[in-house]
Amino acid sequence: MLLTGPEIKKRMVGENPDIVIQPFDDRCLGSNSYDLHLADTLKVYKHTIPFGMRPAIEYKGDPSLHKMRDWFEFSTRYETYRSNPNEYDIRNPRYLIDPTNPAHHETIDIKIPETGLILSPDVGYLGSTVEYTETRNLFPEIDGKSSIGRNFILNHHTAGRGDDGFCGQWTLEIHVLYPTVVYPYMRIGQIYFKEFTGTRKPYDKNPTSHYNGQMGPTPAAPVPVDTFLKDLIQKQK
């Protein structure tokens, strides 16, 4: 069962509330959700950015002031791109991500200026919400606002669902369809809360939880390869 806006606020009251949202403002409370905002720092995986290329561009306020050359730190690298675009093609396997390799999760920080930052359709960005949340006895879920979707900004890929007991800021996996400007504190999504049945297994009490208490954009933990499944499959044969 999905909580209404008034019920969300009601569950935030008391000595041990089911919901914590910090900061909180009534102007961000909707019919059955609470609006979340983009914090001013992004991260990108260093391994995925070609040498001499910028992962994002500070917005000058007028699209006509920007050229393809702006994506490159040096004019020589732009000329290299023009003569050999394959070197900068994200489909080039040299830029692959190995989810099991911690080295591929090393990141570069990017500050979003108040004037705005242009994101590239060729880059994946890790962002975070301004809001810190705690959820107990409920199942939290985030999604994009309709206006964000209609600007073709994807604010999460598969990680829009949280866990009972999760505490922290939400990491966003941001991707855009076109070069798109984002701003700090822009409304980037909304959080919902659902009731569930069954015995609790709180995220913050689970020793295998990777991301509890995260603050700011948090890179991926290495994805495990569970070789023990081979033994289980062999036993079933």
User: Tokens representing 90?
Assistant: 């994200």
> How far apart are alpha carbons 83 and 60 in whole angstroms?
28
Place of tokens 């107990």: 136
Annotated active-site residue in 58, 87, 134, 173: 173
> SS3 string of the chain?
CECCHHHHHHCCCCCCCCEEEECCCHHHECCCCEEEEECCEEEEEHHHCCCCECCEEECCCCHHHCCHHHHECCHHHHHHHHHCHHHHCCCCHHHCCCCCCHHHHCEEEEECCCCCEEECCCCCEEEEEEEEEEECCCEEEEECCHHHHCCCEECCCCCCECCCCCEEEEEEEEEECCCEEECCCCEEEEEEEECCCCCCCCHHHCCCCCCCCCCCCCCCCCCCCCCHHHHHHHHHC
User: Tokens representing 2?
Assistant: 């999905």
Does residue 114 have an active-site annotation?
Answer: no
> How far apart are alpha carbons 68 and 122 in whole angstroms?
13
Query: What residues act catalytically?
Result: 173
